[in-house]
Amino acid sequence: MLRNLSIRDFRCFTRFDLDFDPGITCIVGGNALGKTSLLEAVVILTRLQSPRTNSLAPVIRTGAKGLVVDGMVDNRHMQFDYSPKRRKLALDSVEQKDAHEYLQVARAVFFANTDIDLVRGTGEERRRFLDFLGSQFFRDYRNILRSYDKALRSRNAYLKMTPARPREVAAYTKPLIDLGQQLTELRGSLVRRLEPKAIAAFNLIGERDEQFGLEYHCGSSADFQAALAASAEEEARLRTTLVGPHRDDLLLQLSGQPAAIYASEGQQRTMAIALKVSHARLLESEFGRSPLLLLDDVFGELDIGRRNRLFATLPAGGQRIITTTSLAWLHDVPAGRLYGIKDDGARGRVLDVISPR
């Protein structure tokens, strides 16, 4: 469990410290006070990536050189210093050469009030979802993904050069195919494991008379090499790699129809939540304990029935950190710690401990 968090030069915070309850911690406050940033900081501390952006540079407070996130998870002291020039990981004050051991300490699921974009948005949203989960599920996922991305960007850089550089493009084709096939295999296996859990969560939270389906859609044909060869002509014209895992998608369906078009807003919201619940459930069943459950202002959109059923479908015993703008539903949630956050002028953002007194 996450005991505390300290952040420096993180988004709007110069410096901020916070303790957590082993059960439920709730942070209440108006918009634009940085509640989401606090949950984001928990994700960056534990997973070294933001659920909101691909790069960490925008997370650094304007005017600062770099950010620090620091916290205790169980009995491990985790610390991550990041600046565009330097990144440093430390576990129990020992600097880590690579992230493998560090990333074993804690896993997390981030429920955002923008999760409906998983259903309505572009494939990029769904790839980000799969990658965030995959990096926590498979030990090698993160390295394979990063290497694939590097191979892709390198290959595209050569495709854009004039005069054409067919030899250099071909040199990067081989690693692109090798890594792409590994990534496809991992993502396919991930979706197969996720599907029954997502369907179960959808049925529990939402309406039972509709059927939720999800399917991995490969961004090339099953034979990546052949698909790449087949796209060569168009690739030369458009000067970018057109097929591959960077075009993967997760097809979401409601009773056999594309959910982005046919599902109602309520159903889309339920699907998005079901995906996040299945994310939590999959990590729970694989690692024998619930990941950290970070819920960012998700209750406002849900009626009381769905809200209670969401709570019931989350892994029991998982530590929950919840932000909200409204206290209206708080009597339903037995928060061990309840904080109010407000802007106190010169002192910046400050926390009020509402309970326990």
Partner 1 sequence: MRKVEYPPPLQELIRQLHRMPGIGPRSAERIALWMIQAPNSRPGEISDAISRCTKTVLSCRDCGFFAEGELCTICNDPSRDRSVLCVVEQPTDILPLERTGAFRGIYHALGGKLSPLNHVGPEDLRFDSLLQRIKQAAPQELILALGADVEGEATASYLSQLLAGMPLRITRLAQGLPAGLSLESADDLTISRAFTGRTEVGRS
In order of 35, 118, 268, 285, the CA distances from 273 in angstroms are 20, 10, 9, 18
Number of residues that bind partner 1 (CB under 8 A): 19
Q: How far is the CB of 318 from partner 1 (least distance, A)?
A: 33
179 binds partner 1 (CB under 8 A): yes
DSSP string, 177-240: HHHHHHHHHHHHHHHHHHHHHHHHHHHHHS-TTS-EEEEEE-SS-S-HHHHHHHTHHHHHHHTS
Q: Which of residues 249-288 bind partner 1 (CB under 8 A)?
A: none
What token pair was written down for 51?
């659920």
Contact pattern for partner 1 over residues 135 through 174, marking x by CB under 8 A: --------x---x--xx-xx--xx--x-----xx-xxxxx
CB neighbours of residue 91 within 10 Å: 18
Q: How far is the CB of 94 from partner 1 (least distance, A)?
A: 18
DSSP string, 158-186: HHT-SS--HHHHHHHHHHHHHHHHHHHHH
Report the residue number, 143 or 189, with the smaller CB distance to partner 1: 143
Q: How far is the CB of 9 from partner 1 (least distance, A)?
A: 21
DSSP string, 77-115: EEEEEEETTEEEEEETTEEPSSSHHHHHS--EEEEETTT
What token pair was written down for 253?
């369906």
Q: Which of 117, 178, 249, 301 binds partner 1 (CB under 8 A)?
A: 178
Report the residue number, 229 or 328, with the smaller CB distance to partner 1: 229
238 binds partner 1 (CB under 8 A): no
Report the residue number, 85 or 208, with the smaller CB distance to partner 1: 85
Q: Which of 175, 213, 336, 340 binds partner 1 (CB under 8 A)?
A: 175
Report the residue number, 180 or 206, with the smaller CB distance to partner 1: 180
Report the residue number, 154 or 308, with the smaller CB distance to partner 1: 154
Q: How far is the CB of 157 from partner 1 (least distance, A)?
A: 4
What is the rounded distance in angstroms from the CA atom of residue 297 to the CA atom of residue 322?
A: 7
96 binds partner 1 (CB under 8 A): no
Q: How far is the CB of 335 from partner 1 (least distance, A)?
A: 44
Give ∠ CA 116-142-243 in degrees, rounded to 5. 70
Report the residue number, 19 or 168, with the smaller CB distance to partner 1: 168
Report the residue number, 89 or 310, with the smaller CB distance to partner 1: 89
What token pair was written down for 9?
């030069």
What is the rounded distance in angstroms from the CA atom of residue 120 to the CA atom of residue 114?
A: 10
Task: Please give the residue ranges that form the binding site for partner 1 (CB under 8 A).
Answer: 143, 147, 150-151, 153-154, 157-158, 161, 167-168, 170-175, 178-179
